[in-house]
Amino acid sequence: MAKIDEYIPIVGQSTIDDLKLLAERLKGKVVQHINSTSVGGGVAEILNRMVPLLREVGVDTRWDLIKGGEQFFEVTKKIHNALHGRLDTVNRQDIDIFMETSKKNIEEVNTSSDIVFIHDPQPIALIDKKATNKWIWRCHVDVSNPSQEVWDFLMGFISRYDAAVFSAPSFSRVMPIRQFLISPSIDPLSDKNKDLSDETINEVLEKYGIFRDKPIITQISRFDRLKDPIGVIEAYLKVKKYIDCQLILAGGTASDDPEGLQVLEEVKERAQQDKDMHILLLPQNDIEVNALQRASDVIVQKSIKEGFGLTVAEALWKAKPVVASNIGGIPLQIKHRYSGLLCNSIDGAAFAIKQLLNSQEYAKKLGENGREHIKNNFLVTRHIRDYLLLFLSLYHQEDVVYL
């Protein structure tokens, strides 16, 4: 784990000094993050990097997980899909399962910290334990067009929090509590984003039987229908009619996502006729993810819904040309034709990929612009600063805080 001063060459001394100064003003306060998994997905990834850094700058920070069985996570996946606008029906039995598990967590999880920071819907009902401390609900998903019935159910909890945090302006909802816009971030010094030697990159490619004899198109993401891996395959097949290339679909599954293995099997079945498609279920090995991204000629993120899309930021940080869906938090990262290419369909994705493969100078320029944009806006140090200001604002509600 990198130390906070190791970020100085990237973000500057003044940025680190500001973090330490803000942390000093929180001295004596305990901050507690609570979510549903420590492995898989962007929330766990961010917290794994951020919690140690918060502790290092002087904020007493803890991270706890709720517990849940298979039925509970099946229900929370349905809630997740409904928030994204999918027509997954959440019925009375589902709500009963959700509340039964929530009651057990309410009994077992200690929430006596000064600031309790709840991530996403899974632990949302813990607000029933609210006392005189401060509570924040952080929404990491795209709720621009949620199922109204499910949103109304969640609002029964959200309205009792002190503040809510969203990743993009379009996700903001009408609610009786204060809202903050704070985008997620990547850690430039993590195993997933740090510089790698050519030797390390080639070792990973060799491990998976991938050769650099033709252009590599890659999507790194959980095997989730909302990441549209089948759509990526369709776009790749359209490109391959004109350019001999290969596709990597790589990622893992999250412990709170019961659909992951089923989606993986669907992808494998669709890809079995093409020897240039590499479908990789990766272990929690960030070096391998890093190597695959750095070996790629074009990186794709063709999500149907996306709260932010950390894989876009990861690719841009590596100065890679990116083709991504024009949805959710992705347009915050990609200015079309400046720091990447946005698409709205399979045909649009295929056209953009062909354009980048046929124009290496253009692709290189987009990647360079994208890296600079990520450096200025989406690194973990900015994210920590925003959270520290958020925490302070809870005790100074009369002040205007711009995040």
Note the pLDDT tens digit of each residue in 376-386.
999 999 999 99
Residues 6+ apart with CB under 8 A from 390: 136, 163, 165, 180, 182, 401, 403
CA dihedral over 333, 339, 340, 343, signed as positive or negative: positive
Per the CB < 8 A criterion, the answer to whether 43 and 63 are in contact is no
- DSSP code for 270: H
- C-alpha distances out from residue 309 to 238, 320, 395, Å: 24, 15, 31
- Cα angle 75, 80, 81; round to 5: 100
**Average pLDDT estimate for 267-296:** 93
**Average pLDDT estimate for 183-203:** 97
Check residue 87 and give its pLDDT. Answer: 73
Structure confidence by residue, pLDDT tens digits, 319-333 = 999 999 999 999 999
**Strands (DSSP E) found in 36-169:** 60-65, 115-119, 134-138, 163-166
Q: Which pair of structure tokens corresponds to residue 356?
A: 């980048």
Q: Which pair of structure tokens corresponds to residue 82?
A: 């409904």
Per the CB < 8 A criterion, the answer to whether 375 and 10 are in contact is yes
Q: What percent of the chain has pLDDT over 70?
A: 97
Model confidence at 389, pLDDT cuts 50, 70, 90, reads very high
Residues 102, 81: Cα–Cα separation, whole Å? 19
Structure confidence by residue, pLDDT tens digits, 131-180 = 999 999 999 999 999 999 999 999 999 999 999 999 999 999 999 999 99
Residues 227, 389: Cα–Cα separation, whole Å? 32
The pLDDT of residue 301 is above 70: yes
| The amino acid at 120 | D
Burial of 2 (0-12, 13-18, 19+ CB in 10 A): middle
pTM of the model: 0.93
- C-alpha distances out from residue 308 to 83, 143, 296, 328, Å: 15, 11, 21, 6
**Phi, psi dihedral angles at 322 (to 5 degrees):** -125, 135
The pLDDT of residue 401 is above 70: no
Domains of the chain as residue ranges with CATH: 4-185+379-393 (3.40.50.2000), 198-377 (3.40.50.2000)
Q: 92-96 long-range contacts, Cβ below 8 Å, gap at least 24?
A: 95/153
Torsion of the alpha carbons at 39, 42, 44 and 50, rounded to the nearest 10: 140
Check residue 42 and give its pLDDT. Answer: 86
Check residue 400 and give its pLDDT. Answer: 46
